[in-house]
Structure 1
Amino acid sequence: MDFLQLAKSRYSCRSYKNVPVEKEKLEKILEAGRVAPSACNLQPFYFVVVTDEELKEKVAATYGGKWLKEAPVIVVACGDHSRSWKRSDGKDHCDIDVAIAVDHMTLAAAELGLGTCWICAFNAAKCREVLNLPAHIEPVVLLPIGYPADKGNPDRHGLQRKSLDAIVCWNGFKGA
């Protein structure tokens, strides 16, 4: 499958089969995150892999969606703001670097036939406590990974995406 087909086939999976994810596949997904680019190559990200059922319940409780604990794996993507690059105006690129790594991981998972879903609407303070994270490490994304129990919506890109003309400006901003 070429890259554009892969990107179009990836969707937010919220229903998982009760099938473990092979360690080799999980390591490929994590490797995709590891090699993701980051500002000044500072790599201010960490990936906490949660497979233990009791710990998974606690992490899932920071979100509230009952479907999350169905996933055999939850990766908690974290950022270290003390190590991330800051632009001259003070903008911290930690969250951007974590997002690039997570995007690499979601696409790697899709290529391997696995489903994922970005979750950012969770209680980060509680998640930090559950995982015993130090104060300078922020949980940014919960990323469930598993074999999809649904098929997703193959037409979602054509139906729910803006056209290129609506989002692309050539040689200067002309939108909004």
Structure 2
Amino acid sequence: MDFLQLTQLRHSVRHYATRPVEPEKIDYILECARLAPSAVNKQPWRFILVRSEEARAKVQRCYPREWFAEAPLYIIICAVETEAWVRPCDSKNHADIDAAIATEHICLAAADRGLGSCWVCNFDKSMLQELFQIPSGAHPVAIVPIGYPAETERPEPRRKPMEQLCCEDRFPVNTDETK
């Protein structure tokens, strides 16, 4: 499978089978995340692997959705602001950007192994931080549920046409939205 095929295969899965994920697949996913690029190679991320029933219940309290509870495991991706590169000209901390890159590596690696995933950012951040003892100077960026998709049908992706997204030598203008 080439990279374009992998990106076409990856989608947000919101129904999971009860089948557990094999440890070697989890190891593969985490290794792919560990190898993700980061600004100045600072690697300002931490991953919390959540598999036990007790820990899964804690995550589900932070994002109480029926479909979310179906996933057999979660990875909480955290950004460590104090370890990230900060752009000198405007003091922009890149921890969230780097954590987002690692998160997408997790999602693509899961798809590569026949697993489904979904970025979840709409959770109770304070509760998650407290329940998983995430220290100050770090914060959760995303929760990624991972498991075998319960559905074989994949929704048709809704993507903007390339001409709305890319333009040579100028910023692309979406003519539909600027009228």
Q: Same fold, TM exceeding 0.5?
A: yes
Alignment of 1:87-102 (within 5 A): 87-88=87-88, 89-102=90-103
> Distance in 2 between the 1:80 and 1:147 partners?
30
For 2:22, the equivalent position in structure 1 comes to 22
Aligned residues, how many?
Answer: 173
CA contact (8 A) 2:16 2:150 kept: yes
For 1:73, the equivalent position in structure 2 comes to 73
How far 1:70 sits from its partner (Å)?
Answer: 1.3
Residue 76 of structure 2 aligns with an amino acid whose one-letter code is V
Does structure 1 residue 85 correspond to structure 2 residue 79? no
Q: 1:165 to 1:20 in 2, by over 3 A?
A: same
For 2:163, the equivalent position in structure 1 comes to 165
Q: 1:155 to 1:67 in 2, by over 3 A?
A: closer
Indicate the SS of the match to 2:12.
coil
Residue 135 of structure 1 aligns with an amino acid whose one-letter code is S
Q: 1:100 to 1:32 in 2, by over 3 A?
A: same
> Distance in 1 between the 2:172 and 2:137 partners?
40
For 2:149, the equivalent position in structure 1 comes to 148
Residue 169 of structure 1 aligns with an amino acid whose one-letter code is C
For 2:111, the equivalent position in structure 1 comes to 110
CA contact (8 A) 2:49 2:76 kept: yes
Q: Any stretches of 5+ residues in structure 1 without a counterpart?
A: none
CA contact (8 A) 1:45 1:97 kept: yes
How far 1:154 sits from its partner (Å)?
Answer: 5.1
Indicate the SS of the match to 1:7.
helix
> Distance in 1 between the 2:80 and 2:62 partners?
20
CA contact (8 A) 2:47 2:77 kept: yes
- What RMSD over aligned residues (CA atoms) do the two structures have, in Å? 1.1
**Percent of aligned pairs with the same amino acid:** 44
> Distance in 1 between the 2:126 and 2:172 partners?
40
For 1:41, the equivalent position in structure 2 comes to 41
TM-score (norm 2): 0.93
Residue 175 of structure 1 aligns with an amino acid whose one-letter code is V
- Spell out, residue by residue over 1:116-164, the C-alpha distance to the aligned partner (whole angstroms, 9 max, x if none): 00000001110011111111220110000100001242532xxx11111
TM-score (norm 1): 0.94
Q: Any stretches of 5+ residues in structure 2 without a counterpart?
A: 175-179
How far 1:174 sits from its partner (Å)?
Answer: 4.3
> Distance in 2 between the 1:10 and 1:74 partners?
17
CA contact (8 A) 1:84 1:94 kept: yes
